[in-house]
Amino acid sequence: MSDQILTRMRNWITNCGLTDGARLPPERTLCAELGVNRTELRKALLVLEAEGHVTRHVGRGTFLSKAPKSNKGGRIDDTIVALAESTSPFEAMNARLVVEPQIARLAAMHATPKHLQELRRLTAQMRDASTWARYEELDGAFHEMIADAAGNTLLQAVHKIINRVRLVVVWRKIDTTAPGPTAGYHSFAEHDAIVDALERRKGGDAAAAMQAHLDSTLAAMTAPHHDSDV
Amino acid sequence: MSDQILTRMRNWITNCGLTDGARLPPERTLCAELGVNRTELRKALLVLEAEGHVTRHVGRGTFLSKAPKSNKGGRIDDTIVALAESTSPFEAMNARLVVEPQIARLAAMHATPKHLQELRRLTAQMRDASTWARYEELDGAFHEMIADAAGNTLLQAVHKIINRVRLVVVWRKIDTTAPGPTAGYHSFAEHDAIVDALERRKGGDAAAAMQAHLDSTLAAMTAPHHDSDV
DNA sequence: CAAGATAGAATGGTCAACCAATTTTGTCTC
DNA sequence: GAGACAAAATTGGTTGACCATTCTATCTTG
């Protein structure tokens, strides 16, 4: 059913005669026009948004995208699994060490206050993580947020590829039921140092802090009989 | 940020260890596990369903798709063209500047005599190139050889992706019929400097030489009415 | 005991009221 | 008339209760 309305919306968009960047009618108007309720329409709009065909802003409206096709991580899955088959955990960590400090350096120049605020929020949440699995997720979000802040689409995609390969390769070693990190966990302070450098707009410091963070993470992986870090 | 949770769901799915066709935990359970409310989670699931990664049935549950509604043929090429659509030439060159100097540093440690010999051969051939197209081809081989010498599968793949994206983005600017580079072309000496550093096993020098090479290439791109370099 | 019926739990889906951000409009002051 | 400020209308987003379907355990009955 929802598939049907999605198709209708696609057709409507191609036939409505609106050019790129134009604003669509409000949701409630479109509902009446297409004869569906708002929930159904919003489901279709959500998919169109995920595909990059439209963008939406509270209070402003829904707009046709100018660059309709951005990939947003859709079909790189095949790439990931193929790469994961021939990559070792050590290689994955080394790739991180190559890319992430430089990304942090760029982020120091391009991060918006919104980015910094989100990073602070994530560091706080990580301190409250009750399981390792939960912590891993937040940590992943933290690093992805920095990649986003760097403001380079290609580098962001590269970062995402490296990290997802790493997750596939390294995941099995993690006990998802284990209790979360303790209060003095080394990554907490390291994350703080990274965000501090970003806030002060010190690219060199941010790169160094990121490198130190990844180094100690790698050391934790190498260390004997000790829970893995990330 | 719904995009965030979508990525987390993708990661979760690839890491949860479930096989194709398996049933996911109920929505309400996943909500608690991922720490998001049900509406957010359902938005992510809706997108995943539209992409064909999961199917959902009332009363039964949510299941991983067996054959994600594929356009199977594409593979890595799809990734390239998708990335190319949202990447500018400037971004592509910046991504190179981030990755390639570090790759050169690693290559200084890992390059085999065979690698070095091949690199020398390529630099010689580039000096003899009679057309720009031929030169581009050899230059590409040169940089790929260094990535190979670095000895990290994942980094090599990343390097390939970046360079292929760059080629797609920058392609049009090259006149394939133009005569090749002149004898004093700046890249010749820069290539030599890189190989010299690799042979002396000086990682820092290799990284610096590579960075200098890419910087001057970028400068050539920016310079007025002058043939592009690569 | 086996087959069918049934009540309850579990699960994904829906809806209407409400929320927050933004724009528009009206009004007052100078 | 211009500008500033506030109130109202507009618009996409969110929430919690409720609905429809399916599964499961239990009871009934021959």
pLDDT tops 60 at residue B57: yes
Assigned domain for A217 exists: yes
Cβ contact B157–A77 (<8 Å): no
Q: Which residues of A touch B153 (CB under 8 A)?
A: 83, 86-88, 91
Token pair in block for residue A11: 């057709």
Distance from CA of A185 to the nearest CA of B (A): 22
pLDDT tops 60 at residue A177: no
Domain that holds residue B203: 87-222
Alpha carbon A99 to its chain centroid, in Å, reads 16
Judgement on whether residues B106 and B175 belong to the same structural domain of the protein: yes
pLDDT at position A36 is 85
- Tell me what the mean pLDDT of segment B176-184 comes to: 63
Judgement on whether residues B175 and B118 belong to the same structural domain of the protein: yes
- Tell me what the mean pLDDT of segment B22-48 comes to: 87
Q: What is the pLDDT of residues A91-143, one digit of tens each?
A: 999 999 999 999 999 999 999 887 888 788 788 878 877 777 678 777 887 89
Q: What is the pLDDT of residues B101-114, one digit of tens each?
A: 999 999 999 999 98
Residues 6 or more apart in contact with residue A193 via CB below 8 angstroms? A209, A212, A213
Dihedral sign for Cα atoms in the order A52, B158, B104, B126: negative
- Tell me what the mean pLDDT of segment A42-50 comes to: 89
CB B163 within 8 A of CB B140: yes
Work out if A225's Cβ lies within 7 angstroms of strand C. Answer: no
Report the distance from CA of residue B184 to the C1' of nucleotide C22 in Å, as an integer: 59
Question: Which amino acid appears at position B145 of this protein?
Answer: M
Judgement on whether residues B127 and B168 belong to the same structural domain of the protein: yes
Q: What is the CATH number of the domain that holds A139?
A: 1.20.120.530
pLDDT band at B201 (very low <50, low <70, confident <90, very high): very high
B16 vs B13 pLDDT, higher one:
B13
Judgement on whether residues B201 and B94 belong to the same structural domain of the protein: yes
Judgement on whether residues A111 and A211 belong to the same structural domain of the protein: yes
Q: Which residues of A touch B11 (CB under 8 A)?
A: 137, 140, 164, 167
Work out if B56's Cβ lies within 7 angstroms of strand C. Answer: yes
Q: What does pLDDT average to over chain B? A: 81
Give the 3-state DSSP-derived string for chain A, with helices as H, strands as E and coil as C: CHHHHHHHHHHHHHHCCCCCCCECCCHHHHHHHHCCCHHHHHHHHHHHHHHCCEEEECCCEEEECCCCCCCCCCCCHHHHHHHHCCCCHHHHHHHHHHHHHHHHHHHHHHCCHHHHHHHHHHHHHHHCCCEHHHHHHHHHHHHHHHHHHCCCHHHHHHHHHHHHHHHHHHHHHCCCCCECCCCCCHHHHHHHHHHHHHHCCCHHHHHHHHHHHHHHHHHHHHCCCCCCCC
pLDDT tops 70 at residue A160: yes
Judgement on whether residues B96 and B209 belong to the same structural domain of the protein: yes
pLDDT at position B181 is 67
Distance from CA of A29 to the nearest CA of B (A): 22
Assigned domain for B14 exists: yes
pLDDT tops 60 at residue A226: no
Looking across all nucleic acid strands, the nucleotide with the smallest C1' to CA distance from residue A40 is C14
Judgement on whether residues A51 and A110 belong to the same structural domain of the protein: no
Looking across all nucleic acid strands, the nucleotide with the smallest C1' to CA distance from residue A61 is D11
Chain A CA closest to residue B39: A43
Judgement on whether residues A181 and A143 belong to the same structural domain of the protein: yes
B90 vs B200 pLDDT, higher one:
B200
Report yes or no on whether pTM surpasses 0.90. Answer: no
Judgement on whether residues B33 and B131 belong to the same structural domain of the protein: no
Share of chain A above pLDDT 90, in %: 25
Q: What is the CATH number of the domain that holds A15?
A: 1.10.10.10
Complex prediction ipTM:
0.62
Report the distance from CA of residue B79 to the C1' of nucleotide D11 in Å, as an integer: 36
Work out if A182's Cβ lies within 7 angstroms of strand C. Answer: no
Q: How many domains does chain A contain in total?
A: 2
Report the distance from CA of residue A21 to the C1' of nucleotide C6 in Å, as an integer: 58
- Tell me what the mean pLDDT of segment B145-154 comes to: 92
Assigned domain for B134 exists: yes
Assigned domain for B207 exists: yes
pLDDT at position B67 is 56
pLDDT band at A197 (very low <50, low <70, confident <90, very high): very high
